[in-house]
């Protein structure tokens, strides 16, 4: 069975500071991993994905995430937070053997202080 744990339901950073959102996964098979973002009153938008190529994955808006198999982690980072990054972020895992469903973490709300 697969599962995702996102540490911290709320994270607050100052504008210009490093953003670090944590995600740990559990999977009995090699996973595909995703980060999605939901801005207020919008749907989920794919930020980036890991599908077994490079372990350091770059996404939109300068976000990146590193797949660490030994730590079963896929943390999301951004060097410098912008006010427009305020949103809810979701980590998700799926089984690479199929085009099956995504299993989501509970989400982390990111606040950016001026």
Partner 1 sequence: EAGVTQFPSHSVIEKGQTVTLRCDPISGHDNLYWYRRVMGKEIKFLLHFVKESKQDESGMPNNRFLAERTGGTYSTLKVQPAELEDSGVYFCASSPRREATNAYEQYFGPGTRLTVT
Chain positions contacting partner 1, by CB under 8 A: 32, 36, 41-46, 49, 51, 90, 94, 96, 99-107
Q: How far is the CB of 7 from partner 1 (least distance, A)?
A: 14
The smaller minimum CB distance to partner 1, of residues 43 and 114, is found at: 43
- Nearest approach in angstroms of CB 32 to partner 1 is 5
Burial degree of 111 (CB within 10 A; 0-12, 13-18, 19+) = middle
Nearest CB to partner 1, comparing residues 32 and 81: 32
Q: Measuring CA to CA, how many Å separate 43 from each of 7, 12, 23, 26, 100?
A: 22, 22, 21, 26, 20
Q: Which candidate, 10, 19, 22, places its Cα nearest to that of 91?
A: 22
Q: Which is nearer to partner 1, 22 or 49 (CB)?
A: 49
């Amino acid at each position: 069975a697969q599962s995702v744990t996102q540490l911290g339901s709320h994270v607050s950073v100052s504008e210009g500071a490093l953003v670090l959102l944590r995600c740990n996964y559990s999977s009995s098979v090699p996973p595909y991993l995703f980060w999605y973002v939901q801005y207020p009153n919008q749907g989920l938008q794919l930020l980036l994905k890991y599908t077994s190529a490079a372990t350091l994955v770059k996404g939109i808006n300068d976000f990146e995430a590193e797949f660490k198999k030994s730590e079963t982690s896929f943390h999301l980072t951004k060097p410098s937070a912008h006010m427009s990054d305020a949103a809810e972020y979701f980590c998700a895992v799926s089984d690479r053997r199929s085009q099956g469903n995504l299993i989501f973490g509970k989400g982390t709300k990111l606040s950016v202080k001026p």
